[in-house]
Structure 1
Amino acid sequence: MLKMMTFFQGLPGQQPMPGTLDFRRSSQKLPSTSEVESEASMSEASSEDLIPPPEPGVAPDKEEEEALKKKKKKNKPKGLAGMFSVFTKGKKKKGQLSSAEPESEPETTLGLDAPLPSVEDLKVALELGQLEAARPLLALERELQEAAAGGAGEEELVWRQSKVEALYVLLRDLVLSVLRRPLEVAPERLRQALAVVVEQEREDRQAAAAGPGTSALAATRPRRWLQLWQRGVLEAAEERMGGRPAACAEGRSEAESSFLHMGRTMKEDLEAVVERLKPLFPPEFNVVATYAQSYHEHFAAHLAAMAQFELCERDTYMLLVWVQNLYPNDIINSPKLADELQGVGLGNLLPPKQIRLLEATFLSNEVVKVKELMDRALKLESQHWVQNVAPQRLDGHCHSELAIDIIQHPSRSPGESLLSSPITTLQIISQAQSKAESITPELGMQIKQVLLAELSAFLRSYQRTFDEFLERCKQLSNYRANVIANINNCLSFRTAMEQKWQVPQDPLRPLNELKSHGFDSLLQDMFMDLKTLFKKFTQTRWTTPAETLEEIIATVGGKLSEFSELQDCFREELMEVIHLHLVKEYIIRLSKRRVILRTAEQQQQLAKHILANAEVIQNFCTQNGSPATWLHPALPRLAEIIRLQDPSAIKIEVATYATCYPDFSKGHLSAILAIKGNLSPSDVKSIRSILDVNTEVQEPSRSLFSLIKVG
């Protein structure tokens, strides 16, 4: 399993920075009704509109009115700063300082029941960053609501509300600025800002429960400051995740480095949220889930955008690794985050349907690549045969790298990413399966079936190519060495497929055929020489069997050194083939009907010769590694059939023989009984009938008599 921290630790220049959770101030706000109306009311609150209404019955002089308008036009304030320039004008309200009275420091511990400070005092306190001003501001808002309920004039209410809303803008910006970088502020100040948001949310709920009013006051609630904070978290996640990663590590593409940067950033930031922010934030903020969802949303959007394009093979694999493995296992279910994110329900980075399409594309890509690389590997290998290139020698054996190229596992240094592994012709099958398993175990099982089909097709192609080489290149000096190398190659294929893949025998059949054809090629010349020697048995009418067999054994022994570069297991198998050939040819000579012995003494003498020859063959083959113990009874039991004279005893021996060799037929029995010239036709028929009992016997696992034609 790939561990993301391996990647993260390998990225230079990506050390954690203070203040990682940073809300950027954005001009875009949540489109809430309160903000739209608040901004509208404040845009109307010019210095002219905020002048208190004149006293009833007092009409201003025309010249004074004209001069006043010019002065106001000249000094008309702009924006919030201008709005506060008129806060001290107009009537002196209860609890408000006059311009002649000395200004005092704003009270920082005022509650809702304390005497209210002036608007100007609250403005100064907020500009100084004093969050304690939130409580008196809320009291000022409630006083305004009471005034509206008491029937105050509409113009005065609008004028007073504009002042309150301007102060709330200052408070909102102050609170969000504290929450913008929560790790950089003192815990106590962070708690104060959070308490303000909680209080405002409570006021929003109360306002919603009270329903719309009928006063002249503009609707300013709900203010939805919690939503503004959530929007700020999303913006912070976008800024953090969208930052430029460090320089791409060697072997990684820009896209891969970007994914590693996002994964590392998300993991480290969420761990900081869990460890440092969760203890400070009230439960209603759901701080861990909010951050996790914001980071997840950005990550998912990035992947979704990338998945819209026609992806190359490498990018398809990278997307699947992140979506199916690294993200859920190394981030969401990492030790520090698993419990915290268990109930958040982040889901997949991509929709299931899109994941299935990517997996199908990945499988298709891998199959095409595997087939292409295997074909290329076989082509290069067969070119070496045809060009008479000598095979490598390894531990005294002829050696081929083809099986290693196709089957074996790639060697990879600890911590090396599959994303950065170069694709070569080496370890074609195992690399494809390892890549699939690095996505999900299920995909690994799925690709295994596909790869087995491709491997089976490759082995058939391998066998056909090898057969062509056997047929066309016999004259080359390195012909036999390359044949031996390819036979040895079957061991690597067979071992890997049986042990690692638990492959049934059917896909291995081309390997058995390849080995068998290789043995035939290696033994062809020797068997031709032996054929001439075996003919001497019938030519001399079995009068000199010992001398003939000695010559046969000497011929075989002189050739065995040519097979020394075979793997030990194949040298044993080859010796079994030789053992089978010697026994088979001996039986063929007995079955030629050239010898008819009419007396019991003659038959016993022949049986004695057969037993002696059988012992020589058995000892020679066993000493040279033949494991074919199943061949040991073949000649001695035939000698016993020839030696016996009682038909009933012969029947018992034939029945036993047929049990050992189920392919022993009536034709083979008739050829042996023909040697016994003293048997009557009825005795022969009776003895042959014993094989009728064995007609239901299954096909033999090893063939002997099915290789011998009689008649």
Structure 2
Amino acid sequence: MTKKLGMLNIFKWNPKKPIPEVPTFKENLQAHHFVDAGKQLITRENRLFELKKDGIGSKRKLVEEEEDSEAQLAKDYEDLLESVMRTLENSLDRQSPEEQEVLKEAVQAMLQEEEQDKRWEGFQEKERPPWRPRKCKQNHEALLERLVQRRMEEAQLDSKVEIHSSLQQSIICKAKRLKEDLVKVATWVSSCYPEQENVCQFYATLYHKIFSARLREVAEYTLCDEDCVLLLQWVNQDYPNILNGIKIKDVIDHTKFDPLLPEDMIVPLEQQFLIAEEREVSMCLHNILDREETAWKDGEHPQMRDQVYCCDQAIDVIQCFHKHVEFAQKVLGDEAKAQRITSQMKTFLTDYKAFHAKVIRSKQTNTEAVLMVNLSCLIQCRDYVTKKAHLFPEDVKTDCLSLLATMIERSHRHFISNMLKELKDLYRKVGSSEWLKNSDGVCEELLAKLDGHIQKFNNLDKTCCQELLGGMHKEFLAEYVRKMMKHKIKLSDKAQQHMAAASLCLNSERMHTYFTDAGSNMDLLKDILPNLAGLLKLQDPDSIKLELITLMKLYPDLSKGHISAWLKLKGNLSPSELRNILESVTCSQDQLSETQDSLQLNFFSIVRIK
């Protein structure tokens, strides 16, 4: 019995679960299910299209039904598209996940309508519904353009930001709105659109167009220098920075945008800016020079820090110049255009040269100190121009370096001339019989006198001192060699020549050690006297010729006159032997000059002989 009951249970009636009701069009619309609502309307539209196509509408009743259906369908379409467009219009104010889904629905519904428009292409106007084509995408683009226009017009500046210029307020608040909205589009609005729609580029183009129109409107008026700078900064610096922002640069291609301002508006603004900057740089640099000249005339001595002359004018000149050139590069967005300002450096150095010449000619008590601190200024300016050569047009850079080199050389020459004047009496002993008897004593006297002279240069900065002492080292040695070539003595035999050669080597070592310890970096000078001493020791004319060829390779400015003057110290060298040697080295010198690439050391050209 139980078994039978079980079998009966198999056939027991089980009621089915109720089939869920399909939402109506209005329900879908209220729930923001725009895609489903749109599909429902398209289905109804397609049915009407089939009725017309089959000619069924000839019966009066069906015609009336169809007309009623068309009117209702048109009304439903209007309701749908009104909701869709309202959603799209508020897209930049929505950010929650729920709102994002609604926006996706609106976008898909809009594109769905665009596809339905395409299905009706090719039909005559009387054959298609009166609402086709709906042109949803075109209307969507026009709506976004109005949206962007309205948002830019309504943009307000943060009340906490203090900006007095109404022009600056207008531009900054619009730029701020542009940046914030593009970030919104890039971060979440774009995810609601298919990638092929490239909505980020579309929005960016709209904002660019409106922002550009505002800047062009501003540029039509005569602007003060401050507003001119503001406009150029937005064109060349601030606006590109927005477009190259982290969240924006990867989703838009700003190379497809028209320039913010056309060329005929940019050029006058650039000219106005450059004229103002040139005027500012010129005034700044000449105020520095006037300050230095006034202090010099008033007998003031330069200040010292840590026992070293502090060169404030070098810092002021470089900072003033560099600040304005760098600023011009940023404002103009072009290094080449900013180079025009660098001509002010050339003008300044030309005036500086005139001031420098007056100081050198003067007999004031502060002249030496002023020249020393100005030497430091000149070297720092030279180093700046050299390191920042890319800031200067080639001709301006060349002229600036030439002016600086002239002034540095004049300063060196002033100090070196004073040194040689102080040592003049002692130099008379070099190459004399007294020197031959006691060369160590003569050398010691020279260095002792020199030491008292150059102690004051301890107050120079390291680089400046190194260059000056290097020049003094070279001139000191050149004068020593010149005095040796004055023919005050004749080394009549081999013994005397060897003794003189040994003295020259010892003197050379002492002098070189003194100068290098003091700060000179002219290491190439250490072998000059030993090499010349080697010639004194050689007795065979052919050996002398070979040694001279070696020396001419080392010192290409070693002339026939220098060789003749030096070899005349050898009293046992006959006139014919000397003539033969000179003829031989002259031929060798001509051959060497053809293959010589560059001077290893320009020394003998400053050894002036009669």
If the TM-score is normalised by the length of the shorter chain, which range does it land in? 0.7 to 0.9
Cα pair 1:256 1:318 within 8 Å, conserved: yes
1:232 aligns with 2:143: yes
1:404 aligns with 2:315: yes
Distance in 2, matches of 1:168 and 1:109, equals 17
Cα pair 1:303 1:350 within 8 Å, conserved: yes
Q: Where in structure 2 are the equivalents of 1:81-160 lying within 5 Å?
A: 110=24
Residue aligning to 1:462 = 352
Which residue identity lines up with residue 629 of structure 1 in the other structure? D
> How far is 1:312 from its partner?
4.9
Residue aligning to 2:407 = 514
Distance in 2, matches of 1:631 and 1:190, equals 84
Distance in 1, matches of 2:406 and 2:258, equals 49
Residue aligning to 2:18 = none
Q: TM-score, normalised by structure 1?
A: 0.65
Bigger fraction of residues in helix:
2
Residue aligning to 1:84 = none
Cα pair 1:317 1:362 within 8 Å, conserved: no
Q: Secondary structure, in 3 states, of the residue corresponding to 2:405?
A: helix
> How far is 1:683 from its partner?
1.4
Residue aligning to 2:528 = 634
Residue aligning to 2:13 = none
Residue aligning to 1:347 = 257
> How far is 1:615 from its partner?
4.3
Which shows bigger deviation, 490-499 or 520-529? 490-499
Distance in 2, matches of 1:536 and 1:283, equals 94
Consecutive unaligned residues of structure 2, counting only runs of 5 or more, are: 1-20
Which shows bigger deviation, 561-570 or 519-528? 519-528
Task: Deviation per CA, 1:433-453: give whole Å up to 9, x if none.
Answer: 35525765xx23x25765666
1:694 aligns with 2:557: no
Task: Quickly say closer, same or farther: Cα 1:139–1:647, change in 2 above 3 A.
Answer: closer
Which shows bigger deviation, 605-614 or 684-693? 605-614
Residue aligning to 1:211 = 124
Residue aligning to 1:572 = 466
Residue aligning to 1:55 = none
1:586 aligns with 2:480: yes
1:705 aligns with 2:600: no
> How far is 1:334 from its partner?
3.6
Which residue identity lines up with residue 709 of structure 1 in the other structure? R
Task: Quickly say closer, same or farther: Cα 1:224–1:648, change in 2 above 3 A.
Answer: closer
1:488 aligns with 2:387: no
Q: Where in structure 2 are the equivalents of 1:173-572 lying within 5 Å?
A: 176-182=85-91, 183=93, 201=114, 209-213=122-126, 222-242=133-153, 243-247=155-159, 249-250=161-162, 253-280=165-192, 287-331=199-243, 333-342=244-253, 347-350=257-260, 353=263, 357=267, 361=271, 364-365=274-275, 366=277, 369-407=280-318, 426-433=319-326, 435-436=328-329, 440=333, 443-444=334-335, 446-447=336-337, 450=340, 455=345, 458-471=348-361, 473-475=362-364, 477-501=365-389, 506=398, 508-537=401-430, 542=435, 545-572=439-466
Residue aligning to 1:684 = 578
Distance in 1, matches of 2:107 and 2:541, equals 111
Distance in 2, matches of 1:196 and 1:667, equals 101
Q: Secondary structure, in 3 states, of the residue corresponding to 1:627?
A: coil
> How far is 1:324 from its partner?
4.4
Task: Deviation per CA, 1:1-20: give whole Å up to 9, x if none.
Answer: xxxxxxxxxxxxxxxxxxxx
Task: Quickly say closer, same or farther: Cα 1:308–1:669, change in 2 above 3 A.
Answer: same
Q: Secondary structure, in 3 states, of the residue corresponding to 2:149?
A: helix
Distance in 2, matches of 1:188 and 1:673, equals 102
Cα pair 1:179 1:193 within 8 Å, conserved: yes
Which residue identity lines up with residue 625 of structure 1 in the other structure? G
> How far is 1:564 from its partner?
0.8
Higher relative contact order, chain-length normalized (CA < 8 Å, sep 6+): 1
Distance in 1, matches of 2:59 and 2:283, equals 88
Distance in 1, matches of 2:537 and 2:268, equals 76
Distance in 1, matches of 2:344 and 2:491, equals 60
Which residue identity lines up with residue 493 of structure 1 in the other structure? C
Q: Secondary structure, in 3 states, of the residue corresponding to 1:633?
A: helix
Q: Secondary structure, in 3 states, of the residue corresponding to 2:309?
A: strand
Task: Deviation per CA, 1:174-203: give whole Å up to 9, x if none.
Answer: 554444324459567667766775676566
> How far is 1:563 from its partner?
0.8
Which residue identity lines up with residue 465 of structure 2 in the other structure? R
Distance in 2, matches of 1:615 and 1:192, equals 93
Percent identity between the aligned chains? Answer: 25
Task: Quickly say closer, same or farther: Cα 1:679–1:224, change in 2 above 3 A.
Answer: closer
Distance in 2, matches of 1:130 and 1:539, equals 115
Task: Deviation per CA, 1:393-417: give whole Å up to 9, x if none.
Answer: 234321223333343xxxxxxxxxx
Task: Quickly say closer, same or farther: Cα 1:162–1:390, change in 2 above 3 A.
Answer: farther
Cα pair 1:658 1:694 within 8 Å, conserved: yes
Q: Where in structure 2 are the equivalents of 1:656-671 lying within 5 Å?
A: 656-671=550-565
Which residue identity lines up with residue 521 of structure 1 in the other structure? H
Q: Secondary structure, in 3 states, of the residue corresponding to 1:663?
A: coil
Task: Quickly say closer, same or farther: Cα 1:706–1:403, change in 2 above 3 A.
Answer: same
Distance in 1, matches of 2:455 and 2:515, equals 14
Q: TM-score, normalised by structure 2?
A: 0.74
Q: How many residues align?
A: 563
Which shows bigger deviation, 161-170 or 558-567? 161-170
> How far is 1:299 from its partner?
1.6
Task: Quickly say closer, same or farther: Cα 1:535–1:283, change in 2 above 3 A.
Answer: closer
Task: Deviation per CA, 1:364-383: give whole Å up to 9, x if none.
Answer: 45556545544444444444
Distance in 1, matches of 2:583 and 2:541, equals 12
> How far is 1:454 from its partner?
5.4
Residue aligning to 1:422 = none
Task: Quickly say closer, same or farther: Cα 1:240–1:663, change in 2 above 3 A.
Answer: same
Distance in 1, matches of 2:570 and 2:201, equals 97
Which residue identity lines up with residue 266 of structure 1 in the other structure? L
Distance in 2, matches of 1:282 and 1:635, equals 86
Q: Secondary structure, in 3 states, of the residue corresponding to 1:341?
A: coil
Cα pair 1:667 1:710 within 8 Å, conserved: yes
Between Structure 1 and Structure 2, whose CA radius of gyration is higher? 1
Distance in 2, matches of 1:604 and 1:137, equals 119
> How far is 1:481 from its partner?
2.0
